[in-house]
């Protein structure tokens, strides 16, 4: 191996002992964007004693996610998230993850997903029936409540509409707790009865109450409604006499329950924001909806004809990817370009950084749905755009999310315009997902 191969990639200058920890915590997206801009496609950073490498090229990301996934396991962030999610699809590894994904896959089969379309549009209609012309709503909270109701009904066969406020509050506490993992003594801090830990445990208990209620209801009424809990209740552990334990059921249910609504709600919120700032795109969307739907409720059969709606939603997830950062721990030395990334280090791949790379998206901060025309996409590397990840660990609910996002957008935009409240600050809050820091209060205008 040559000396050139052993050298560290370039990176920003860090502080003694803590490295780039404070700079990242202060503004994670700005830090990563500037690191990529100033230091290239492989960037060395350090969080305390932990060495990490930011990869900023589609080929390198493809290599990690698709070509050599066995060389990596989930990073420290998702290890920390196990405190909330347990050993669910998002956090589990190896053979256990493969088996659990196989058990859950049927509920996300295309035929099953198509059956959920009517539930999605019905829930959207119920929300907009409560809206009034010229009133102001926090559209982010409206989308959170809507997608939470949908995932509960479609994936778990139950209703949580009366609990959405409490669930949202508990989830906000859990999200705030997430970034403690960056501190060097986070695991030790998590065992202390400090205020942040007490708040998190209370929030987890509240979320567990909903999840275990769902499990108990499905055990009491084990009828096949095409939902995930029914599939998992039928599942048998290999080599075991009984079905999945309640703890296993809880972990899978918690993961899909939270991940299955948070990401779509954020994507829709940013879409409404972008539409309010881009009237030409909004007019093109309305023209397509009027032409294809003519005022009726969209169905799954309409998806193939709502081409501009999909392009618009795709562009919103480019500018504001709901999942903005992936982290993996290297378990086997991995070579990138002329560098060896050693076992034990962390690899970072940021959807936000890649989606704003001018090599693949000229004038990257400009909103332009035509970036997702077939012609534009044909010349773009696969992992220049990866809002749902990729490879064997890609998001299992991607088809569900695409259908839900497009159908909800079509249902609501047929009847409503939304305008951001003047002078409201719009800032990014990059936690596990990319939230609007101050919500998204918007004035509703009936079309």
The pLDDT assigned to 3 comes to 43
Q: How far apart are CA 252 and CA 356, in angstroms?
A: 33
- Assessment of whether the complete model's pTM goes beyond 0.85: yes
Residue 348, C-beta contacts closer than 8 angstroms, at least 6 positions apart: 32, 45, 52, 53, 54, 55, 75, 325, 326, 327
- 6-17: per-residue pLDDT in tens? 578 999 999 998
The pLDDT assigned to 325 comes to 94
Q: Are 433 and 147 in contact (CB under 8 A)?
A: no
Walk across the sheet containing 416-420 and list its strands: 136-138, 441-446, 416-420
DSSP 8-state assignment for residue 183 = S
The pLDDT assigned to 1 comes to 41
The pLDDT assigned to 429 comes to 93
CATH class of the domain whose range is 3-446:
mainly alpha
Identify which of 415, 412, 416, 397 has the alpha carbon closest to the alpha carbon of residue 116. Answer: 397
The pLDDT assigned to 2 comes to 45
DSSP letters for 277-295: H-HHHHHHHHHHHHHHHTT
**Three-class DSSP category at 347:** strand
- 392-403: per-residue pLDDT in tens? 888 888 999 999
The pLDDT assigned to 239 comes to 41
- 405-440: per-residue pLDDT in tens? 999 999 999 999 999 999 999 999 998 899 999 999
Which residues of the chain are under the pLDDT cut of 50? 1-4, 237-240
């Amino acid at each position: 191996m040559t000396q050139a191969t052993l050298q560290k990639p370039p990176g920003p200058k860090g502080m003694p002992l803590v490295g780039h920890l404070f700079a990242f915590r202060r503004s994670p997206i700005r830090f990563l964007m500037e690191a990529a801009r100033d230091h290239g496609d492989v960037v060395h950073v350090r969080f305390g004693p932990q060495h990490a490498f930011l990869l900023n090229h589609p080929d390198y990301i493809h290599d990690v996610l698709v070509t050599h996934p066995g060389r990596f396991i989930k990073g420290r962030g998702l290890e920390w998230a196990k405190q909330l999610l347990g050993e669910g699809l998002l956090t589990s590894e190896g053979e256990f993850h493969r088996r659990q994904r196989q058990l859950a896959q049927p509920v996300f089969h295309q035929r099953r997903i198509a059956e959920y379309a009517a539930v999605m549009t019905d829930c959207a209609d119920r929300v907009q029936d409560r809206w009034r012309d010229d009133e102001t709503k926090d559209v982010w909270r409206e989308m959170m409540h809507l997608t939470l109701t949908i995932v509960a009904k479609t994936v778990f066969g139950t209703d949580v509409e009366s609990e959405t406020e409490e669930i949202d509050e508990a989830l906000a506490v859990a999200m705030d707790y997430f970034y403690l993992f960056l501190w060097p003594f986070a695991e030790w801090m998590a065992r202390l009865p400090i205020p942040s830990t007490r708040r998190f445990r209370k929030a987890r208990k509240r979320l567990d109450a909903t999840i275990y209620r769902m499990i108990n209801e499905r055990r009491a009424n084990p009828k096949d409604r095409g939902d995930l809990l029914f599939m998992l209740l039928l599942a048998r552990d290999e080599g075991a006499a009984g079905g999945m334990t309640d703890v296993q059921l809880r972990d899978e249910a918690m993961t899909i329950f939270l991940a299955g609504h948070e990401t779509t709600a954020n994507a829709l919120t940013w879409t409404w924001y972008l539409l309010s700032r881009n009237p030409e795109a909004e007019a093109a969307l309305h023209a397509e909806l009027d032409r294809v739907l003519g005022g009726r409720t969209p169905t799954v059969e309409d998806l193939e004809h709502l081409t501009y709606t999909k392009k618009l939603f795709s562009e919103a997830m480019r500018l504001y990817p709901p999942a903005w950062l992936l982290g993996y721990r290297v378990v086997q030395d991995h070579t990138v370009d002329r560098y060896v990334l050693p076992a034990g280090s962390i690899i970072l791949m940021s959807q936000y950084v890649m989606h704003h790379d001018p090599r693949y998206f000229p004038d990257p901060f400009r909103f332009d749905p035509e970036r997702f025309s077939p012609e534009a996409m044909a010349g773009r590397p696969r992992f220049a755009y990866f809002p749902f990840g990729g490879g064997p660990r890609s998001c299992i609910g991607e088809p569900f999310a695409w259908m839900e996002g497009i159908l909800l957008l079509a249902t609501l935009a047929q009847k409503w315009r939304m305008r951001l409240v003047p002078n409201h600050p719009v800032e990014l809050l990059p936690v596990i997902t990319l939230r609007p820091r101050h919500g998204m209060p918007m004035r509703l205008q009936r079309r």
